[in-house]
Structure 1
């Protein structure tokens, strides 16, 4: 029977798989910490100093027991006691400074990684975000980088601290009594390994218990919710669910018992270790053959050293899993940092100067992978002119329009603005020339003013108000409790669909682009709201080159040109009247209801 995997085992396996798929160069990690060499050296020095100073404590105890108390040497006693307190104060102070410095290093490295990764992902194409889960991106930017704090403040420092403590303690033990040191080094390792084995067993049982508890919660939620009960009753599945629940509950009983016993075994093993090693030392100190004239102070000091050796030694034994987990985090971050930027600024960009606004699709092809979406599109929109794109769902309208803003690059041909291939322009210059309004308006969880300033950070209050008035949204904003300083709420829930669209139009007006792409900007609105938004769009489009993905006949009929797309090709081109007279696909769309077909 296969052994059930535990979450911890799965995590270790996932970390190893991540490193196998994307190996991490230690030199690359080292470069992240290179600017902080001085602080790193200080942290190491503090760790060594703290561990070394702490080792003096048992020697002071030896002097107190062997000399100061038997000889009633008050001066020596006071000196040793003062030094004991001083050591406690010094190690505590050094620990605070070490935590402060290591946290500073970790936070600055995280800040640099986080900022660089965010900037790099911002440069990725829309295709990357289409094929990647949003939660995965957020997890790497926030959770993975946040977890890397432990690489400095926990993993790295604990390795250095534990290693220093173990080496220093062993040296001190040998200096005190090589005979007792030999006994400790023989007895302690098997005891430590036994404790570690029992701890792993307990973790495995506890993890299995938690997984079974999760199953139980799922069964309760699915079986006793209103929807679950209705489904169970209509399918007659109640007996099956009850049997499954009973089996899960019975499994949980067994795991609970094993978990409690494993916990007791762990405690029992640790108690045996803590008792057996000192007992062996006391035995060795009491036997004439092994005592070698050992003093009581030496024995007490040695037992104190031996007790301090156990935990750092356990920490070092578990360091492999910590290092693997840390490297896996770096691997996940570097994997995203190494993503190629598919759409980037050209090496030698062309400057447009004053934008007239002519747009030309010069025999454009585009495809996703092996699937070709657009075929040989050859269209020209004169500066200040308008083009409407209509066609059935999947005909390529949105894809064609997105090429103007360079959300994608054509696989053949070119999209040109004023005769210049958009791939030869900087992304900032292109964004300044092309404005996009879509049907899905995205508003930030910020004030109305901040949402508008997102388009033009240096806009004045007068410019903001003028844009809002032109978009027919100023009166709505002015009636809000705090006017332009009112929070729009998550995704703009305070506003209706039409109001959000007009806010988006105002935002675009602030940028004052010469070319507009209107991607079904009124498709989700009722007729009354659509008229208000359309009036704002007409204001926005005045004097600009406009490419509209049409949704309603009222929008289509006023365009200078209407391009009918089917299966990624332009099958008809002309004005509303010309296309109706031809009696072709456009006429069919109008007859069948352009509003429903073109969407």
Structure 2
């Protein structure tokens, strides 16, 4: 935001800081240029965001312009005080003039408050719109997007980039209006006061600006080099003084070499810091000379009859004040280009995510299925799947899950078990073939319907940083306490929760750290039980449980799966023995299928997996 009407904002943003009052010009961040090259931004698309606020923009610009003009009354009031009121001992005129000076300041301040409120409100509304669009759009992306993208990157674009965009754009927009208006109005006032002196001032101004920017550029180069060296030093500290880093240095004998590298970098920083400080001192000295030279030239010109034009003392003081004031908005205007590139880079990063085509698109005309009427037949028809266009991990899978039965999928690690399970709740879409639910392609179901029909308990549980109650209510927002307790009891964790001081209102902590891994797993199972879906996908749901707890939860799951279609990724023989059918996967292909008894007697892949039970408790 600008500092107010008539004020020249020391614009700031990721690219650097604006240059007024002795600061250097804004710095163009090379990363911003690369971002714009990779993902160009249409100005029309940006403008479309502000179309609903065009009236507010017009009012803000009008307020800034009005305040800049009103603020220029100050030097003329000063001139009248010095030339008329004080020499003539006119107390009445002096009171009027000084009161007017206070009034002008109060008026511009009031306008500044209104302008700031309007501009901030507009920026926040635009930011709100983008934030919601980006959040909902990212939720529509496939799991593959999130496995490829760092979580911090997604959060940065959703929070930092949008907030930065609002700040930079609002500052830039108001800065352009304020600086441009202030420059034009100040130049006009200078000409009105003294055309001759104004010409001299405008001749002096360009070289003064050039000199200040030249010195600032020198310091910027040194500062960039210093920042790179500091980054390398910090990286060495972070890597070298971590537990793993120290262990590696000791085992490889690199401690002397690391010390020499650290010493060399530290030595380089000494020289760079000296150069940076001297360059900064030169910049300050240059600015001091500039600010001293300009009024000196004005005073000198005022002493010559040919250029003074009979200038009074009051006019000279007023003119000097205007001359000092015009330097800042001019410098601000020179930095607008860098600020605009920074703003465009923010938009580019946001639009880059908004332009991602979701791999899992919701159907335009979904087929509606009522969860209570779903039979629960799941059928895989010649399904093939590959991640990101790579080699297929599933090949020609054709499989039917009979309503009300349990199908266990077993196989070695990497055989495609979890990938197969992910296709039912449509966490992924097949590269070829279809997954049908009661004869309807799951890709044709509305996402909210599919989530009510297919319940998932995965190996990796996820609990939000809230209470037990809030975690359970995610599955059924209108559930009563009795229903919550019943679900906890079915998952064999009601006694654990009941023994806590706050019971259902106990905070689970970040990622559920308040509970053990097995307890987290049972809370996730309770959440699924509460949802009561007709189709269940259990992706190694009991893997985090010990044998005793697993037996208890397995009993709960058996009661839950009764009469429901269940696809379970099995890792223990006990899970498989109770299944209606067993499917053995090997390298993404079904190599064996039948009842546990049939496969056990066949002495095939399943029998060999089961034989390993004596060596390892897991089948996978």
TM-score, with normalisation over the residues of structure 2? 0.92
3-state SS of the aligned residue for 2:434? strand
Match of 1:567 in 2: 587
Instruction: Tell me which moved more, 324-333 or 11-20.
Output: 11-20
Matched, 1:524 2:544: yes
Matched, 1:181 2:198: yes
Instruction: Tell me which moved more, 17-26 or 83-92.
Output: 17-26
Deviations 1:2-57 (A, max 9, x none): xxxx9979962221121122211122111211222222222112111111111110
3-state SS of the aligned residue for 1:148? helix
- d(CA) in 2 for partners of 1:233, 1:469: 52
- d(CA) in 2 for partners of 1:421, 1:235: 57
3-state SS of the aligned residue for 1:364? strand
User: Runs of 4+ in structure 1 displaced over 3 angstroms?
Assistant: 6-11, 213-239, 594-598
Instruction: Tell me which moved more, 547-556 or 343-352.
Output: 343-352
Match of 1:361 in 2: 380
Match of 1:48 in 2: 65
Instruction: Tell me which moved more, 405-414 or 323-332.
Output: 405-414
- d(CA) in 1 for partners of 2:249, 2:197: 70
The 1:33/1:227 distance shift into structure 2, 3 A limit, reads closer
Deviations 1:111-130 (A, max 9, x none): 11111110111111112112
Report the alpha carbon displacement of residue 374 of structure 1 after superposing the two structures with TM: 1.2
Matched, 1:509 2:529: yes
Tell me which of 447, 457, 471 is aligned to 2:491: 471
Match of 1:24 in 2: 41
Does the 8 A contact of 2:491 with 2:525 survive in 1?
yes
The 1:51/1:10 distance shift into structure 2, 3 A limit, reads closer
Match of 2:301 in 1: 284
Match of 2:208 in 1: 191
- d(CA) in 2 for partners of 1:596, 1:306: 85
Match of 1:495 in 2: 515
Deviations 1:546-585 (A, max 9, x none): 1000010000011110000111111100011101111111
Does the 8 A contact of 1:467 with 1:509 survive in 2?
yes
Matched, 1:380 2:403: no
Report the alpha carbon displacement of residue 536 of structure 1 after superposing the two structures with TM: 2.4
- d(CA) in 2 for partners of 1:560, 1:412: 27
Gaps of 5+ in 2: 1-13, 17-25
Report the alpha carbon displacement of residue 352 of structure 1 after superposing the two structures with TM: 2.2
Matched, 1:261 2:261: no
Name the count of aligned residue pairs: 594
- d(CA) in 2 for partners of 1:327, 1:26: 9
3-state SS of the aligned residue for 1:472? coil
Matched, 1:535 2:555: yes
Does the 8 A contact of 1:99 with 1:153 survive in 2?
no
Matched, 1:127 2:148: no
Does the 8 A contact of 1:498 with 1:525 survive in 2?
yes
Report the alpha carbon displacement of residue 221 of structure 1 after superposing the two structures with TM: 5.4
Match of 1:270 in 2: 287
Does the 8 A contact of 2:168 with 2:342 survive in 1?
no
3-state SS of the aligned residue for 1:480? coil
Provide the alpha-carbon RMSD of the alignment. Answer: 2.0
Instruction: Tell me which moved more, 445-454 or 201-210.
Output: 201-210
3-state SS of the aligned residue for 2:29? helix
Tell me which of 147, 156, 167 is aligned to 1:139: 156
Match of 1:591 in 2: 611
Match of 1:350 in 2: 367
Report the alpha carbon displacement of residue 243 of structure 1 after superposing the two structures with TM: 2.9
Match of 1:421 in 2: 441
Does the 8 A contact of 2:573 with 2:619 survive in 1?
no
Deviations 1:281-315 (A, max 9, x none): 11111012211211111111110001111111111
Match of 1:447 in 2: 467
The 1:456/1:7 distance shift into structure 2, 3 A limit, reads same
Does the 8 A contact of 1:393 with 1:597 survive in 2?
no
Instruction: Tell me which moved more, 85-94 or 35-44.
Output: 35-44
- d(CA) in 2 for partners of 1:83, 1:175: 20
- d(CA) in 1 for partners of 2:405, 2:219: 74
- d(CA) in 2 for partners of 1:229, 1:527: 39
- d(CA) in 2 for partners of 1:429, 1:257: 66
Does the 8 A contact of 2:573 with 2:618 survive in 1?
no
- d(CA) in 2 for partners of 1:234, 1:428: 54
Tell me which of 66, 86, 91 is aligned to 2:103: 86
Does the 8 A contact of 1:505 with 1:540 survive in 2?
no
Matched, 1:436 2:453: no
Report the alpha carbon displacement of residue 250 of structure 1 after superposing the two structures with TM: 2.2
3-state SS of the aligned residue for 2:325? helix
List aligned pairs for 1:61-76, cutoff 5 A. Answer: 61-76=78-93
- d(CA) in 2 for partners of 1:59, 1:324: 38
3-state SS of the aligned residue for 2:582? strand
Match of 2:56 in 1: 39
Report the alpha carbon displacement of residue 539 of structure 1 after superposing the two structures with TM: 2.5
Match of 2:418 in 1: 398
Match of 1:3 in 2: none
- d(CA) in 2 for partners of 1:388, 1:326: 54
- d(CA) in 2 for partners of 1:486, 1:261: 58
The 1:266/1:496 distance shift into structure 2, 3 A limit, reads same
Report the alpha carbon displacement of residue 593 of structure 1 after superposing the two structures with TM: 2.5
Report the alpha carbon displacement of residue 226 of structure 1 after superposing the two structures with TM: 6.7
3-state SS of the aligned residue for 1:377? strand
